DNA sequence: GCTCTTTCGCTACTCGTCGTAGCGTATCTG
DNA sequence: CAGATACGCTACGACGAGTAGCGAAAGAGC
């Protein structure tokens, strides 16, 4: 979790408690003040830590926030509920719940925005936030195949592209609904969206 | 386009040329420096205008950028190409082209992020950027119905929800693909994504 | 023409934040 | 105990947002 190697051998070791306190303080500040309102000085005070201590561990505000938020995304799970529709609905519901929290709401888009300009940050976002989500799609797909709901992969490259599309569709749509359109993600909405993925556009004549 | 009432009658009128120069300078600065690198002072210099002139017209950096970017979204069109699949693909292609430009890439996510905290800005983003996109979906749907590809609306409320889902799905997915995943939107990808919307998930056994 | 009104450019200013430097102290390893 | 590193503290430099006050310019109305 800490950006540098955890064990160094000599000298006074870094306080692990400080790490946790800083990350928790960051989430708190995000929830209360938003991305723009969050300042390093404020986080330091909340964590009961000197501002310089923050900079000894994270090179910038963005990287700190990535780590503060990333742990929340690790909680996402893809349970095997017996059907693809149910599995997708469950994942969407978890993801939506995450995105309604004030701290993620304040941070996620801002991080993505910063990431478009900063390759190093972008890499970190991918590893810590995007990848864990994509794994869920892979898992859900594998489960569906194991249940016999889907064909097994013919070509791994094609399967990867398939997964990419599904992933961008699920994550992008939920984010857009909640953070851009500003509309709630209800159980009913989840059902309709999932149905759209698994079936043709409703109302379509064939 | 200008934030205040365009005609006031008395006194020296506002320079319309300055408006255009400022908006163009803003897009230039966005493309070169990104959202974080853009400063009001720099925009003023590029536009050949005093910084105070910017603040006489726009209350903040965010609102200025909304207007600078919004005009680009007005160029989106939904041509009737004879089939729903073709219409959607064309819109997606236009939208993707817009999102690959450095100025929109730098601004869009940052604006959405700011919008989650600032209701006034959020409203402005909705009016100037989100709504024009949603209109395309409504238009494409109407065209498909006129061609007999889709059932006519039974219930206007249900139709609205339907449009909302489609809109969030298209806009959200393309944005996520380009700005978060960082993968290109090729003609092949567009075809596959559109096919996913209009047909069941490929590989699904029924 | 003249006057009134508003905008414009300019300079200077306040305020807050980022990120860093330097120092004395605290805490670990060997 | 000695060496090495982290810590808290204070102070600082740089920079950008947004504002204030001025004289000059450019229109509108008469």
Residue A200 clears pLDDT 90, i.e. is over it: no
Q: What is the pLDDT of chain B when averaged over all its residues?
A: 93
- Alpha-carbon span B133 to B154, nearest angstrom: 23
Reported confidence tier of residue A201, pLDDT bands at 50, 70, 90 = confident
Lowest mean pLDDT across A26-35, A196-205, B169-178, B181-190: A196-205
Tell me the two tokens of residue B83: 């089939």
- Average pLDDT (B28-41) is 96
- Alpha-carbon span A6 to A162, nearest angstrom: 37
Interface A–B counts its CB contacts (< 8 A) at 160
Residue A82 clears pLDDT 60, i.e. is over it: yes
In this complex, the residue of A149, A176, A203 whose CB is nearest that of residue B151 is A203
Handedness of CA A124, B99, B120, A187 (dihedral sign): negative
A144-180 CB burial, b ≥16 within 10 A, e <16 = bbeeebbeebeeeeebeebbbbbbbbbbbbbbbbbbb
**Centroid of chain to Cα A62:** 15
Per-residue model confidence as pLDDT tens digits over B66-108? 999 999 999 999 989 999 999 999 999 999 999 999 999 999 9
Residue B2 clears pLDDT 80, i.e. is over it: no
Residue A3 clears pLDDT 50, i.e. is over it: no
Nearest CA to A34 among B121, B166, B19?
B121
Cβ contacts of A181 on chain B, cutoff 8 Å: 130, 164, 167-168
Q: Of how many residues is chain A composed?
A: 206
A75-89 CB burial, b ≥16 within 10 A, e <16 = eeebeeeeebbebbb
pLDDT value of position A7: 53
A 58-117 residues with CB < 8 A to B: 84, 105-106, 109-110, 112-117
Per-residue model confidence as pLDDT tens digits over A176-194? 999 999 999 999 999 999 9
- Residue at minimum CA to C1' distance from nucleotide D20: B52
- Average pLDDT (A13-33) is 96
- Average pLDDT (B199-206) is 74
Task: Using DSSP, state whether A33 is helix, strand or coil.
Answer: helix
Nearest CA to A89 among A200, A201, A202, A193?
A193
- Residue B127: C-alpha distances to residues A190, B16, B31, B78, B106 (Å): 26, 22, 23, 18, 20
- Residue A22: C-alpha distances to residues A68, A129, A200 (Å): 8, 19, 47
Reported confidence tier of residue B5, pLDDT bands at 50, 70, 90 = very low
Per-residue model confidence as pLDDT tens digits over A94-109? 999 999 999 999 899 9
What are the DSSP calls for B44-107, one per residue?
Answer: HHHHTS-HHHHHHH-SSHHHHHHHHHHHHHTT------SSHHHHHHHHHHHHHHHHHSHHHHHH
**Strand D bases, protein C-beta under 7 A:** 3-11, 15-21, 25-29
Residue A6 clears pLDDT 80, i.e. is over it: no
Helices (H), chain A: 16-37, 40-47, 51-57, 61-73, 84-100, 102-115, 119-125, 131-147, 156-175, 187-198
Reported confidence tier of residue A8, pLDDT bands at 50, 70, 90 = low
In this complex, the residue of B130, B173, B202 whose CB is nearest that of residue A173 is B173
Residue B127 clears pLDDT 70, i.e. is over it: yes
**Strand C bases, protein C-beta under 7 A:** 4-12, 16-22, 26-30
Per-residue model confidence as pLDDT tens digits over A95-149? 999 999 999 998 999 999 999 999 999 999 999 999 999 999 999 999 999 999 9
pLDDT value of position A88: 97
Q: Of all nucleotides in the shown strands, which has a C1' nearest the CA of A55? A: C19
Burial of residue B60 (CB within 10 Å: 0-12, 13-18, 19+) is: middle
Q: What is the pLDDT of chain A when averaged over all its residues?
A: 92
Contact check, Cβ <8 Å, A117/B182: no
Residue A23 clears pLDDT 70, i.e. is over it: yes
DSSP lists the bridge partners of residue B204 as A150
pLDDT value of position A10: 83
């Amino acid at each position: 979790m800490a950006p540098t190697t955890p064990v160094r051998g000599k000298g006074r070791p870094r306080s692990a408690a400080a790490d946790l306190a800083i990350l928790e303080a960051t989430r708190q500040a995000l929830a209360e003040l938003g991305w723009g309102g969050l300042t390093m000085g404020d986080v330091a005070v909340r964590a009961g830590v000197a501002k310089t201590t923050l900079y000894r561990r994270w090179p910038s505000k963005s990287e700190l926030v990535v780590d503060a938020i990333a742990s929340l995304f690790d909680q996402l799970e893809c349970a095997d509920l017996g059907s693809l529709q149910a599995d997708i609905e469950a994942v969407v519901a978890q993801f939506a719940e995450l995105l309604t929290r004030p701290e993620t709401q304040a941070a996620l888009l801002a991080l993505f925005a910063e990431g478009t300009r900063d390759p190093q940050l972008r890499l970190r976002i991918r590893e810590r936030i995007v990848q864990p989500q994509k794994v869920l799609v892979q898992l859900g797909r594998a489960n569906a195949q194991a249940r016999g709901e889907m064909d097994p992969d013919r070509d791994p490259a094609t399967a990867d592209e398939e997964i990419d599309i599904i992933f961008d569709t699920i994550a992008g749509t939920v984010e857009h609904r909640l953070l851009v359109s500003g509309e709630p993600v209800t159980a009913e909405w989840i059902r309709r969206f999932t149905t759209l993925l698994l079936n043709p556009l409703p109302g379509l004549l064939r």
